[in-house]
Amino acid sequence: MKKVLLGTTALLLMASASPLLHAKDDPLEWKSEDGANSFKVGGVLRFNHRYEQWDESTNRGAGKLDFDIFRLDLKGNYGDFYFNASPIIQDQEMTSIEKAYVGYKIDEKQSIEAGLVYKPFAIYPYPQNGWTYHIPFFLGYGNNIAPGVNWNFDNANWDVKLGYYPRMLDADLRYSPEAATFDDLSENHLPFQSGYQNEKRNQFNARVVHKFDTESLGKHEVGFSGSISELYNTETKDDGKYHAVGIHTNSNYKRWNLQSSIIQYEYDAKNPEGVDNNRTLMGANGLTPSYFIASEGTVSSVNLAYTLPIKNMGKLKAVRFYNDYSYLDKAKSDWKSSQMNTTGAMFIAKPFMVWADYTWAKNANILGGAQNGTGLTSGQDSKYSDKWLYRVNLNLGFTF
C-alpha cells in the first residue's frame, strides 16, 4: 500500500513540474497547455434507505436516510504514465479502497498496471446493473482488487487482460469480499468460524474477450476467464488449490443491454481435522459479517437493462430500468441452491444519481442477515431456509 501511495505521489510531483491549468469545463481538473499532463479530482457521496422483510432486521420501520459511502476518485497522467485511485469511507466508520494503481502505456494497444489493481474475471468490474450486489459479487467475482500487476491489450476486436497477485488485499481495506482467514477478519468474524484459516497466494487471472461491432446488430462481446492460485492454510502450513473458469457475454443493441455469465469454481483446502472442507470463509471490511460459501459450485447470472432518454425534465436526462438475476448451484447435492433477483431503476440527473431496487432472494446471506448466514452453503441451518425474502433499497448519490 505504501508503495502505491509513493508511486501516486511521484506522478503528482512530476505532473506539477510543468504548469497545470484548470480545464475550462471542469474546475476540479487541471491540464498542461499541451494536454500531455493532467490531474483530476472526482468522487461520490451516497446515502441509503431500506426496508427489510425479516423480523430481526433493524430496517423494518419507516427508518431514515443513512450515510452510505464517500468515495474520492483521483486520476492523472504524465506523458505515458497514469494513475487511478479511489479511497472510500463507509458507514460504521469503515474505510476501504476500490483501486489504487500506477500504469504505463506501452503503445496504443498495450498497457501495464501495478498496485492495487482489479482482478479481471467475467463481467468486469461490476457483475450487475443495480445498486444491490448479486451472488457473483459475494463469491468474489465483482469489483475485486488485489496487490499485483495487470497487462492489458485492447484493439477493435480483442480485449485481453492477464494478471498476477502474490497475495490478497488486507481484510481491513477490502471493499469486495475475498477468501480469508478467521484471524484476518478479526473485526468482522463470528466465533463459530474460528477453524477456517485459508488464504489465496500467487493468484493468476486471465480474461480474453472477442468483440463484435456491427451497425445493424449493435456491439457485443464474448469472453472466457480463468483463475488459479495456491490456498495456503495458516494452521496446517499446507497449500491447497483454488481454480475458477467462466464464460460471459455482453450485448448492446440500441437502448438495450444484455449480460450473462456462468462461473464454475472450487476451493480445495488442506484444513485441519474437524474443519468442513465443503465450506470456505469469505469476508470484507463492512458489508455483512464474514460468511461461508460452498467450496465448490456453479454460479450463473442474467442481467437485462433498458435506458430511456428523458427530455424537458430539468436535470433528469435518462432512466435506466434493469433486472438482475443470479443462481448458485452447489456441488454438494443435498445443499439447497441460492437465488437472487433485483428489479429496479437508476435515475440519471447529474450530478445526482438515484437507484431504486427491489430484491428478493432465498438461501442468500445478504437477505435474512445472520439468520440466513448459511444460505450460500447448506441453507439448512436457518429459520429462513428455502424461503423467499425481500428488501426494498433506495440509494441517493451526489457525484462531482
pLDDT at 380 over 80: no
Q: What is the pLDDT of residues 14-53, one digit of tens each?
A: 444 556 777 766 778 999 988 889 999 999 999 999 999 8
**Residue type (1 letter), 89:** I
Q: Which of 178, 381, 184 is nearest to 280 (CA)?
A: 178
- Burial bucket for residue 362 (CB in 10 Å: 0-12, 13-18, 19+): buried
CA distance 127 to 163: 19
What is the model's pLDDT at position 189? 64
What is the model's pLDDT at position 381? 67
Q: What is the pLDDT of residues 237-248, one digit of tens each?
A: 999 999 999 999
Q: What is the pLDDT of residues 334-346, one digit of tens each?
A: 999 999 999 999 9
Q: What is the pLDDT of residues 118-129, one digit of tens each?
A: 999 999 899 999
What is the model's pLDDT at position 187? 67
For residue 226, give its domain range: 2-399
Entry pTM: 0.91
CATH number at residue 318: 2.40.160.10
What is the model's pLDDT at position 5? 43
Q: Of the ranges 21-35, 153-167, 299-313, which one carries the lowest mean pLDDT score?
A: 21-35
pLDDT at 7 over 60: no
| Mean pLDDT confidence for 92-102 | 90
**Residue type (1 letter), 250:** N
pLDDT at 6 over 50: no
pLDDT band at 287 (very low <50, low <70, confident <90, very high): low
CA distance 185 to 54: 26
What is the model's pLDDT at position 195? 79
pLDDT band at 1 (very low <50, low <70, confident <90, very high): very low
What's the domain count of the chain? 1
**Which tops the pLDDT comparison, 208 or 60?**
208
Mapped onto helix, strand or coil, the DSSP state of residue 169 is coil
C-alpha cell at 175: 471493499
| Mean pLDDT confidence for 248-264 | 98
pLDDT band at 12 (very low <50, low <70, confident <90, very high): very low
Q: Hunting for cell 492477464 — which residue is that?
A: 162
What is the model's pLDDT at position 178? 93
| Mean pLDDT confidence for 196-202 | 94
CA distance 114 to 73: 17
| Mean pLDDT confidence for 274-278 | 92
Q: Of the ranges 16-25, 31-40, 153-162, 305-314, which one carries the lowest mean pLDDT score?
A: 16-25
